[in-house]
């Protein structure tokens, strides 16, 4: 068995030399910690080439055109423009997308 030197996560192992039968190898058990992970099962999506996608693009384009970017003189103003764009994008996305369930049969793209 090979372990990464100094790894405290993988050094919880036991060797049982008394459990040997006719082999020269001793049985070994290793306790591997498994971290609980949340797997997202829902997401928002817009179907490609749908009416919602066309409306989303149209509204986003309109929103971008309405943002005044003619005189970006300092970082604070640039930050303001980026925040307006982010807020607008989120609002338009939420309005035009729908929540879908992710299943084992869902496409990975």
Residue 1 has pLDDT above 60, yes or no: no
Q: What are 4-33's pLDDT values in tens digits? A: 556 665 567 777 888 777 777 878 787 777
The pLDDT of residue 73? 85
Phi, psi of 36 (to 5 degrees): -70, 135
Q: Shortest CA distance to 13 belongs to which of 4, 22, 36?
A: 4
Q: What are 30-79's pLDDT values in tens digits? A: 777 777 777 778 889 999 999 999 999 999 999 999 988 888 888 998 99
Residue 3 has pLDDT above 70, yes or no: no
Q: How confident is the model at residue 106 (pLDDT cuts 50, 70, 90)?
A: low
DSSP per-residue codes, the chain: ----TT-SSS--EEE-GGG--SSSPPPEEE-----------EEEE--TTSHHHHHHHHHHHHHHHHS--S---SHHHHHHHHHHHHHHHHHHHHHH-EEEE--TTS---
| pTM of the predicted model as reported, rounded to 2 decimal places | 0.57
């Amino acid at each position: 068995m090979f372990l990464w030197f100094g790894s405290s996560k993988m050094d919880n192992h036991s060797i049982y030399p008394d459990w040997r039968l006719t082999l020269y190898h001793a049985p070994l058990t290793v306790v591997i910690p498994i971290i609980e992970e949340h797997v997202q099962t829902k997401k928002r999506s817009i179907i490609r080439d749908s009416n919602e996608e066309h409306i989303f693009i149209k509204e986003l384009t309109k929103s971008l055109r309405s943002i005044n970017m003619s005189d970006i003189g300092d970082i604070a103003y640039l930050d303001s423009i980026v925040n307006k764009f982010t807020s607008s994008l989120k609002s338009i996305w939420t309005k035009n997308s729908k929540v879908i369930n992710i299943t084992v049969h869902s496409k990975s793209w």
